[in-house]
C-alpha cells in the first residue's frame, strides 16, 4: 500500500506543478522549500541515528579484547589499582555478601600516549567483557539531541552485543571524556549539556543485578575540566592516575616493543631508557619503530644502538631537514650550541650526550642531555643551573659576536618558565607569594633580576672557557656532531691549558 502512495505522489506532484505553471502561478519558491526541507530531513535523520547503518553495520564495533595487562609496560601502580577495581566486577559473590555498591565508572587521567586505551582494553579482557570504544568528539554535533541519542545507542548496543556474544558484562571506553563532560556553564552549549545529562542518566540506570553488567572507563588528559556531576560517588568515582613512565617503566615498554624486532646484541637498553627521560609510552613505541626504519635505510639486518639514538632525536625534535644555512649562520649556531654544552658540563659534569649541528625539526642545532636519574624535586641551585644552561647559547653569541640573534627565543621561553616555577615554589627573594595575585610589573621585575644576574654569571664562566670553544668549533663544523665522551675529553684538555 505504501509503495502505491509513493508512486502516486511521484506521478501527481510533477503534473500538479506543470498545471500550476501553465495557469501562471510561480512554483519556484515551493520547489526551493521542498528541496531544502528534504535535504534537512535526511541529514538530521542520518546523523540522529547512532546506528546510522552503512552497509548494514552498527558504528559501535566490538573491538578485539585479546589484549592483556602483561602487554602494558610500566604503569604498575595504575594496573594494580585498576585490577583491584575490576575485581568488583569479577568477584560478584563477595561484593553482594558485603553489600558493596557496584562500580559503574573508572576515570583514567594522565598525559597523552601513556597507555590509557591499552588499560581499558586489558580491563575488558580481565573481566571477560565485550569492549566498545568511542571518543568524546564523536558525540559532538551541531544538532541538539544528536549526541544524547548516540550515548543512548551506545549503551543499547553494548547490552545487545554482550548478550549476542554470551558475555555477562560489557566495557564501554570513552576517550577524551572532557569534550562532553566539561564543566557546564548554564545554557551556553545546550547540545553538550544534553549529551552529558544523557550519559549521567545512563550511568544512573546501571543496576548490579542486571545482566549484562556495564562498566564505563573514561580517559582524559584534563581532569580539572570535568564537571563535578560526573565525578561524584556512584559515577566516575574511581580515579586512576596514568603517569609518564619512570626509568624502569621505560625499559619495560622498550623491551615490549623490541620483542618483534631483531636487536643487535650490543644494544644497551638500559642506556636507551636513561636517554628517553619524560618520554610517553607512545613516544617509546615510536622510537623503536623509527630505529627499525633507520636500520632498513642502512640495509642493516639488525637494529643497532646508533639507530636507536637517531630515533630518539627524531622523536624529540623531528626529522632532519635539508635547510641550507650560510657559513656564518652555521658558525653562529655551532657557537650557540657549544655555549649550552659547555655550561651543561660545568654545572652538571657528564651530562652532555651529544652536540649536533644538523637542522632537525625547527632547530638548526641541538644538545642532547642525559639525565643522570629521574628527578621529581628540584632545589633552587638546580633550577638556577638549568637557567644558566638555557642562557649559555645567547651568552656565547654575545661573547663572540657582541650581539644575540633570534635563535635564543626558545631558550628564553624555557628560562622564563623556570623563573615561574621558582616564584610559585617560594624560592625567590619574594618569599612565599600567591603567584596569581602578582602584577605583570612584579613578574617582569623579578624575572629581570634573576635572569640578568644568571646571564652575568654565565658569561663570566663561558668567557673563561673561550679556548674550549675555539678547540671544539672546528670539529663540530667538520663532523656535525660531537658525542659526550669526546666533548668531555676536549674540555679536559683545553680547560687545563
Give the catalytic positions in this structure: 337
Among 115, 147, 149, 339, binds ligand ATP (CB under 6 A): 115
Residues numbered 153 to 182 that lie near ligand ATP (CB under 6 A) are 175
Rounded CA-CA distance 68/291 in Å is: 26
Among 88, 107, 109, 116, binds ligand ATP (CB under 6 A): 116
Closest CB to ligand ATP belongs to which residue?
Answer: 281
- Binding segment (CB under 6 A) for ligand ATP, from list 8-16, 71-79, 91-99, 165-173: 71-79
φ/ψ bin of 475: left (φ > 0), alpha (ψ from -120 to 50), beta (otherwise):
alpha
Stretch that binds ligand ATP, among 111-119, 122-130, 151-159, 177-185 (CB under 6 A): 111-119
Residue 370 phi/psi, 5-degree rounding, is: -120, 105
C-beta atoms surrounding 230 within 10 Å: 24
Secondary element (H or E) of residue 184 = none
With contact defined as beta carbons under 8 Å apart, do 325 and 337 qualify? no
Residue 306 interacts with ligand ATP (CB under 6 A): yes or no: no
Check: CB of residue 390 under 8 Å from CB of residue 415.
yes
Which H or E run contains 297? helix 281-297
Kindly tell me which of 112 and 410 has the beta carbon lying closer to ligand ATP: 112
Could you tell me the three cell numbers for 250?
Answer: 621505560
Q: Among 36, 28, 178, 16, which Cα is nearest to 109's? A: 178
Q: How many residues bind ligand ATP (CB under 6 A)?
A: 19
Asked if 448 interacts with ligand ATP (CB under 6 A), we say no
Over the window 230 to 269, marking each residue x when it contacts ligand ATP by CB under 6 A and - when it does not, the resulting string is -----------------------x--x-------------
Least distance between ligand ATP and beta carbon 294 (Å) = 19
Residue from 219, 335, 419, 423 binding ligand ATP (CB under 6 A):
219
- Number of residues in the chain: 497
Query: Distance of CA 286 to CAs 268, 283, 313, Å?
Result: 18, 5, 11
The residue from 14, 112, 426, 448 that contacts ligand ATP (CB under 6 A) is 112
Distances (CA, A) of 496 to 82, 389, 465: 57, 22, 10
Dmax (CA) of the chain: 107
Determine the interface stretch with ligand ATP among 17-25, 58-66, 72-80, 125-133 (rule: CB under 6 A): 72-80
Please tell me whether residue 290 binds ligand ATP under the rule CB under 6 A: no
Binding span for ligand ATP by CB under 6 A among 24-32, 66-74, 180-188, 392-400 = 66-74
Q: Which of 62, 65, 74, 290 binds ligand ATP (CB under 6 A)?
A: 74
Residue with cell 627573594: 429
CB 411 within 8 A of CB 341: no
Q: How far is the CB of 220 from ligand ATP (least distance, A)?
A: 8
CB neighbours (10 Å) of residue 306?
A: 15
Please tell me whether residue 113 binds ligand ATP under the rule CB under 6 A.
Answer: yes
Cβ contact 227:186 at 8 Å: no
Stretch that binds ligand ATP, among 93-101, 107-115, 419-427, 451-459 (CB under 6 A): 107-115
Strands (E), 289-382: 352-356, 366-369
Beta carbon of residue 229, minimum distance to ligand ATP (angstroms, whole number): 23
Q: Which residues here bind ligand ATP, judged by CB under 6 A?
A: 72-75, 112-118, 175, 219, 221, 253, 256, 281-282, 285
Amino acid at each position: 500500500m505504501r509503495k502505491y502512495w509513493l508512486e502516486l505522489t511521484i506521478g501527481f506532484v510533477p503534473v500538479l506543478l506543470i498545471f500550476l505553471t501553465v495557469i501562471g502561478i510561480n512554483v519556484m519558491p515551493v520547489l526551493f522549500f521542498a528541496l531544502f526541507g528534504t535535504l534537512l530531513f535526511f541529514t538530521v535523520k542520518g546523523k540522529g541515528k547512532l546506528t546510522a547503518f552503512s552497509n548494514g553495520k552498527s558504528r559501535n564495533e566490538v573491538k578485539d579484547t585479546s589484549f592483556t595487562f602483561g602487554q602494558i609496560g610500566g604503569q604498575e601502580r595504575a594496573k594494580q589499582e585498576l585490577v583491584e577495581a575490576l575485581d568488583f566486577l569479577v568477584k560478584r559473590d563477595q561484593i553482594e555478601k558485603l553489600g558493596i555498591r557496584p562500580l559503574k565508572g573508572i576515570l583514567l587521567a594522565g598525559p597523552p600516549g601513556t597507555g590509557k586505551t591499552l588499560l581499558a582494553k586489558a580491563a575488558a579482557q580481565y573481566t571477560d567483557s565485550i569492549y566498545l570504544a568511542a571518543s568524546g568528539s564523536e558525540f559532538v554535533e551541531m544538532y541538539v539531541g544528536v549526541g544524547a541519542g548516540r550515548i543512548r545507542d551506545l549503551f543499547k548496543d553494548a547490552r545487545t552485543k554482550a548478550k549476542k556474544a554470551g558475555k555477562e558484562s560489557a566495557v564501554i571506553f570513552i576517550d577524551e571524556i572532557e569534550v562532553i563532560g566539561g564543566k557546564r556553564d548554564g545554557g551556553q552549549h545546550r547540545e553538550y549539556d544534553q549529551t552529558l545529562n544523557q550519559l549521567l542518566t545512563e550511568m544512573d540506570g546501571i543496576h548490579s543485578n542486571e545482566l549484562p553488567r556495564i562498566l564505563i572507563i573514561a580517559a582524559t588528559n584534563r581532569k580539572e575540566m570535568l564537571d563535578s556531576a560526573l565525578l561524584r560517588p556512584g559515577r566516575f568515582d574511581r580515579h586512576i592516575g596514568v603517569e609518564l613512565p619512570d626509568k624502569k617503566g621505560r625499559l619495560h615498554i622498550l623491551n615490549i616493543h623490541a620483542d618483534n624486532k631483531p636487536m643487535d646484541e650490543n644494544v644497551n637498553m638500559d642506556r636507551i631508557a636513561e636517554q628517553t627521560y619524560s618520554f610517553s609510552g607512545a613516544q617509546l613505541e615510536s622510537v623503536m619503530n623509527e630505529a627499525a626504519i633507520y636500520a632498513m635505510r642502512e640495509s642493516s639486518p639488525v637494529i643497532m644502538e646508533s639507530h636507536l639514538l637517531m630515533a630518539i632525536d627524531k622523536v624529540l625534535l623531528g626529522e632532519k631537514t635539508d635547510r641550507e644555512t650560510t657559513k656564518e649562520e652555521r658558525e653562529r649556531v655551532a657557537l650557540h650550541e657549544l655555549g649550552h654544552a659547555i655550561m651543561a658540563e660545568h654545572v652538571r659534569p657528564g651530562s652532555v650526550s651529544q652536540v649536533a649541528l644538523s637542522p632537525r625539526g625547527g632547530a638548526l642545532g641541538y644538545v642532547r642531555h642525559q639525565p643522570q636519574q629521574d628527578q621529581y624535586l628540584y632545589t633552587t641551585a638546580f633550577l638556577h643551573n638549568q637557567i644558566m644552561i638555557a642562557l649559555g647559547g645567547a651568552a656565547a653569541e654575545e661573547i663572540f659576536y657582541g650581539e644575540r640573534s633570534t635563535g635564543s627565543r626558545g631558550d628564553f621561553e624555557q628560562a622564563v618558565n623556570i623563573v615561574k616555577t621558582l616564584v610559585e615554589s617560594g624560592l625567590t627573594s619574594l618569599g612565599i607569594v600567591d603567584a596569581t595575585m602578582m602584577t605583570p610589573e612584579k613578574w617582569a621585575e623579578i624575572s629581570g633580576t634573576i635572569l640578568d644576574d644568571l646571564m652575568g654569571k654565565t658569561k663570566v664562566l663561558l668567557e673563561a672557557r673561550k679556548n674550549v670553544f675555539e678547540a671544539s668549533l672546528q670539529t663540530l663544523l667538520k663532523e656535525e656532531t660531537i658525542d659526550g665522551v669526546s666533548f668531555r675529553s676536549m674540555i679536559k684538555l683545553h680547560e687545563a691549558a
